Structure 1
Amino acid sequence: MTVLFGLLGAAFGGLAGAVAGYVTNRSGMLMQLSHTYDVALRDRRLEHYARLFHLTERIPRRWRPGHEPDRAQLLEHWETFHHWYFGEAAGGMFLTPASKSCYLALQNALLELGRDGAPGGAAAEPLAEGESRLIRHLASELRHQLAEDVGAAHPPRLRWARVNRTVDLPPVTPPV
C-alpha cells in the first residue's frame, strides 16, 4: 500500500511538474515572440519616422525671412505628406494612434488653409499670422510625438549613460 501511494505521488508530482514546465515555457515563448515583434516593428517604424521627420523640415519652427509659404505651397506640402503616408513604402501604416492624430491634424490644416486661396486664383496669397502659427505648431506637435514614439524624447534608461553634459553657448552679440 505504501508503495502504491509512493508511485501515485511520484506520478502526480511528475504530471504537476510537466504542466508547470509547459505553462512556464509557453508564457516565456509568448513573451519572447511579443518582444521580437515589438523590436521588428520599432525598427521599421524608425525608418518611416525618420523620413517623415525629414519632410517636416518644410514647416520649420520659424520661417526664414522671405521663405514664408503661400497657400499653393501648403497644398504642395499636403501632397508631399500624402505621398509619404500612402506611397509605396506605406509610411502611414506605421504611425501610432497619437502620431496619426498629430499627422492628420497637420494634413487637415494644410488642406483647409491651402484651399482657402485656391478658388479665386489667390493661391499666391500669403498666410495670416495666426494661420502660419497654427501650421508651425501642428508640425512641431507631430515632430515631438514622433520623438516620443521612438523613445528619443526620454533620457537613457541605463544609469551610466545618464551623464549630465552641458554645453556652454557663446554669448550672443547683437548685429551692428
Structure 2
Amino acid sequence: MSFFSSPLTLLCCLVIYSSLVTTNSFVLVTSTTNKKMEANVVSSKRHTLYNSASDGSNDNREAKSQKPFVERTALEGAEKIRSISIEERTKRAMMAEAVEDRVLELSDELDQLLGDDGMPLKKEYREKIETLAKEIKASREQYRVLVSGEDCSMINLLESLK
C-alpha cells in the first residue's frame, strides 16, 4: 500500500507543509481545470484566472491573452519533469492536483468574504482575507515547485517518512 493511497494522508501533508510556508504579499490569483468552477470564478470580478504582470491598470486584453497560471507553470517545467521517474511524477501530479483543489477552496472562501467592489464585506473579515490571500499565494508556490521538477521539500518530507 502506497503512502499516498489515502487522500486524507495527502491532504494532511499539504496542510502541514502549507503551514510551514510564510509569505508577505497579498496576491489573489486562481485557476482550475473544472469548467463549472472556472465559470464561477471568471464571473466574479474579485479574482483573475491569469497571473498578469499588470501595473494595476484595467487592461483585460493583456490578462486574457495569457495562459492560466496552471497551464503556463506546467509548460515551463515540462522538460525537467520528463527526466523524473514515473513514480515521482505520479506523486507530484497527485500533490499538484490536491494543491490546485485547495486553491479553489480558499478562493471560494475568500469570495464569500468580499463585496462586489473587492473590499471586505465587514471590517472583521480583513484579517481572515489577508490570511486566505497568503495561503493562496503559498499554495501557488507549492504548485509551481511540484510541476517545475524543482527539489520539493514536501516530497523529501514524505520520502523521509517511509
- Please say whether Structure 1 and Structure 2 have the same fold, judged by a TM-score greater than 0.5: no
TM-score (ref. length: structure 1)? 0.33
TM-score (ref. length: structure 2)? 0.35
Greater gyration radius: 1
Instruction: Between the two structures, name the one with larger relative contact order (CA 8 Å, sep ≥ 6).
Output: 2
